[in-house]
């Protein structure tokens, strides 16, 4: 019964969100596009980083690759083909990066992924200055904000369904085992390198597509904009706030934080970064396992220790 209720609620929510642009103004639609983008990014981030505990700051590298593919190719190729090419390039970069870095763990992985995003930004800048001779590019595509929104919504729904499916599959269990203890994982027969690589690649392709789909809305792209590392940090903090190990965690973190960032950047444009940093520190200290875990633990405690045990065993 409970499962049907959740599935029903999900379908209704998606339908309402799909119809929302019809009764919202341009500003409301803009907000929804930002929300859909960040929810999708945070969920895709958590798809890999949640169970494994590998904290990636490469999010914006893939978002930027997607945006740049659209900027560079949309004048010569049809749009759906551009999306496919963007996804393929995102996949290729993820595989190359994954093969060379997933052996790293802990803070080394974090630093590497951060460096990767910067490296790709510098490479694109170098190429644009020395080969094409222009740093920025304009994107003129006849794609309406509504179409961008619906594409993002569809991608977001697919990402959530994929996360749900993976969470119940063998590969989801493999990721959890890897996150708990890689030595045990390899000794029960899990191919650690392949599992991590596969999930990293899936997550990267989704991020690339988010960048590609949103690009037409930006009209003008240049490396400093589309490879802005703040995006990686925002996605990370959103997923952590909600709880990266839960299906709905990233969504619950992304929605309030996105609204807060919008408000902060509109009202405190000069102190935005400071406030963001403080908030980041606060979240990591106060809610290391995310809001969902926090609420669940405390809610269960009030209902008695036995209930808490059962919920922990299930999670």
Partner 1 sequence: MTTLLDISALTRRFGGLVAVNGVSFEVARGEVVGLLGPNGSGKTTVLNMISGSLKPSGGDIRLNGEKLSGLPAHRIARKGVARTFQLVRILPSLSVAENIVAALAFRSAPLWGAEVHAAADDLLVIVGLGGRGNERAENLTYIDQKRMELARALAAAPQLLLLDEWLAGLNPTELRVGIELIASLRDSGITIVLVEHVMEAVRALCGRCIVMTAGSKIADGPTADVLRDPEVIRAYLGASHA
The Cα angle at residue 268 between residues 263 and 269, in degrees rounded to 5 = 100
Q: Which is nearer to partner 1, 184 or 284 (CB)?
A: 184
Task: Annotate each residue in 254-293 with x if it binds partner 1 (CB under 8 A) or - if it does not, as one string.
Answer: ----------------------------------------
Cα(first)–Cα(last) distance of the chain, in Å? 19
Return the CA Rg of the chain: 20
Is position 192 an interface residue for partner 1 (rule: CB under 8 A)?
yes
CA distance 252 to 174: 25
Is position 306 an interface residue for partner 1 (rule: CB under 8 A)?
no
Contacting range for partner 1; rule: CB under 8 A; set: 113-121, 156-164, 190-198, 218-226: 190-198
Q: Which of 103, 170, 271, 303 lies at the binding interface for partner 1 (CB under 8 A)?
A: 170
Is position 312 an interface residue for partner 1 (rule: CB under 8 A)?
yes
Q: Which of 23, 131, 183, 266 lies at the binding interface for partner 1 (CB under 8 A)?
A: 183
The Cα angle at residue 101 between residues 98 and 107, in degrees rounded to 5 = 125
CA distance 126 to 145: 31
Tell me the residue ranges of DSSP E strands in the chain. Answer: 137-138, 220-221
Is position 297 an interface residue for partner 1 (rule: CB under 8 A)?
no
Question: Greatest CA span in the chain, whole angstroms?
Answer: 67
Q: Which of 30, 84, 104, 186 lies at the binding interface for partner 1 (CB under 8 A)?
A: 186
Q: Which is nearer to partner 1, 93 or 292 (CB)?
A: 292
CA distance 70 to 220: 11
Q: Shortest Cβ distance from residue 252 to partner 1 (Å)?
A: 20
Residues that bind partner 1 (CB under 8 A): 170, 173-174, 176-177, 179-181, 183-192, 309-310, 312-314
């Amino acid at each position: 019964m409970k499962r049907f209720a959740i599935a029903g609620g999900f379908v209704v929510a998606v339908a309402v969100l799909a119809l929302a642009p019809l009764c919202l103004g341009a500003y409301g639609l803009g907000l929804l596009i930002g929300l859909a983008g960040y929810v999708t990014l945070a969920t895709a981030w958590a798809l890999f980083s949640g169970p494994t505990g590998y904290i990636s700051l490469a999010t914006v590298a893939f978002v930027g690759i997607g945006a740049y593919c659209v900027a560079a190719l949309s004048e010569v190729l049809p749009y759906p083909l551009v999306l496919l090419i963007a996804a393929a390039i995102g996949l290729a970069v993820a595989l190359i990066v994954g093969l060379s870095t997933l052996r790293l763990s802990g803070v080394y992985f974090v630093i590497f992924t951060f460096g990767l995003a910067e490296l790709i930004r510098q490479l694109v800048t170098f190429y644009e200055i020395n080969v094409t001779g222009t740093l920025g590019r304009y994107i003129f595509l006849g794609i309406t904000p509504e179409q961008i929104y619906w594409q993002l919504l569809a991608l977001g729904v697919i990402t959530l369904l994929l996360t749900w499916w993976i969470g119940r599959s063998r590969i989801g269990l493999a990721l959890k085992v890897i996150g708990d203890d890689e030595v045990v994982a390899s000794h029960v027969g899990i191919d650690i390198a392949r599992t991590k690589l596969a999930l990293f690649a899936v997550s990267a392709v989704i991020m690339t597509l988010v960048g590609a789909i949103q690009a037409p809305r930006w009209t003008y792209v240049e490396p400093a904009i589309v490879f802005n590392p703040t995006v990686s940090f925002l996605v990370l903090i959103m997923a952590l706030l909600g709880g990266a190990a839960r299906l709905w965690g990233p969504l619950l973190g992304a929605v309030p934080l996105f609204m807060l960032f919008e408000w902060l950047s509109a009202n405190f444009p000069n102190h935005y970064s400071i406030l963001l940093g403080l908030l980041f520190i606060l979240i990591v200290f106060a809610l290391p396992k995310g809001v969902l875990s926090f609420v669940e633990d405390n809610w269960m405690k009030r209902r008695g220790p036995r209930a808490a045990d059962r919920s922990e065993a299930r999670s």
